Amino acid sequence: MAKSLQNLLKNQHILLIQGKMGDFFSRFSSFLQKQGKTVSKINLNAGDAFFYQHKTNVYNYQDSLENFDIFLENLIKNQQVDAVVCFGDCRPHHAVASQICQATDTQFFVFEEGYLRPDYITLQQDGINAYSQLDFEKISHLQKANDKPLFTNNRFYRLCLSAIVYYIVEQCGRRKYPNYHHYRGMTAWQEAITWLKAPFIKAFGYFADKKLQKKCETTWLNQYFLVSLQVYNDSQITFHSDYADVVDFIEEVLTSFAGFSDKNQQLLFKHHPLDRAHRQYGDFIQQLSINLGIAERVHYGCDMHLPTLIKHSLGMVTINSTTALQSVYHNRPTKIMGRALYDLPKLTHQSSLDDFWQNPTVPDKEFYQHFREYLIEQTQLNGSFYGKSPWKSKYLLTNLV
């Protein structure tokens, strides 16, 4: 069982703020209460309130973000809250919560998508990703990882349905929460319209993507570098990189590739599937590639099988996507252009991007196994936000023995 969950359960009064769209925090609250914990919840909008089914110790915050620090500090002190839990530590209210927890000596825990996928979610104390406080000096003392996570049956359609209901309810409840602004900067209707476009965009590019993947498995086998793109407004970019926009990253990669790669090497940009209806970079990549004289060696697609692409590649470049850990798992050289907890010697390429094309550093397999074990031991729960949660059964079984 992850050390982070063990530490959380040492606390008596646990405060939940905003979780994933859906009922995960409601289910997590039920789990905590079964352990004899007092659980409170702050709802920031009507969507939060709709999916949280517990009726006691619920606080509907209707004031502005500017006053949230005072509200939260008073709540922590008056209700004797021991720990605060949220999803993502870069959302505006959660960033405030992190600061207040430090000031009041309250423990702070963050859920996030799993560092290791599939069948894991992350629960980490103090902060995630580049804000992580993990001590990697302890890695060498661990045994080789031998984890066998149970299948969680995570389903994308459940996320979609939860998002649709969440945004509709949030929009309908605007009068009750007039000061709430979505952390991604889009209204509910903008998000809804964008997601409605996604299936059509996917269908339109289906055959082109399949053709591109087939070339990677045959014609370009072990002759291409893979670039894993991220959602354009992901906090990993806005908070944990120096890029103002994904296009800046793309331009840097293309310019470097044009100047320092072997003329027989190909470059494949893989678009993030959750970003297909928000952003498209095909025209930009094509025009810049033409200007750089490498158009015939640069390719762009979205719906391709990532593990297969990684296995047949020469290596991966990304800002700080967790897909990089899949690349390391498959023993492929990996270059990180932002800030990430796994950007370590023996795991990723530590010198320049220009050097990466010519002398890519292969990960140290043994070190990676220790690193993986450490992540599992400290932060990973065998479960999903839109599927099963085997970690609950494992926890109960462990405590019955």
For 293-315, the pLDDT digits (tens) are: 999 999 999 999 999 999 999 99
Give just the sign of the alpha carbon dihedral 282, 316, 151, 381.
Answer: negative
Is residue 108 within 8 A of residue 67, CB to CB? The reply is: no
Write down the pLDDT at residue 137: 81
In this structure, the number of other CB atoms found within 10 A of the CB of residue 102 comes to 11
Write down the pLDDT at residue 284: 98
If you average pLDDT over every residue of the chain, what do you get?
A: 93
| Residues in CB range of 178: below 8 A, 6 or more apart | 62
Q: State which amino acid sits at residue 17.
A: I
Q: How many whole angstroms separate alpha carbon 102 and alpha carbon 67?
A: 18
Q: Which of 28, 61, 45 is nearest to 166 (CA)?
A: 45
Tell me the pLDDT band of 400, cut-offs 50, 70 and 90. Answer: very low
Is residue 324 within 8 A of residue 316, CB to CB? The reply is: yes
Q: How many whole angstroms separate alpha carbon 7 and alpha carbon 107?
A: 9
Residue 281 in 3-state DSSP? coil
For the cut 80, the answer to whether the pLDDT of residue 184 exceeds it is: no
For the cut 50, the answer to whether the pLDDT of residue 326 exceeds it is: yes
Q: State which amino acid sits at residue 354.
A: D
Tell me the pLDDT band of 401, cut-offs 50, 70 and 90. Answer: very low
| pTM for the predicted model, two decimal places | 0.92
Is residue 145 within 8 A of residue 369, CB to CB? The reply is: yes
- Percent of the chain scored above 90 by pLDDT? 83
Instruction: Summarize the confidence of residues 25-31 as an average pLDDT.
Output: 97
Q: State which amino acid sits at residue 20.
A: K
Phi, psi (rounded to 5 degrees) for 216: -65, -30
Q: Which of 400, 401, 392, 328 is nearest to 123 (CA)?
A: 392
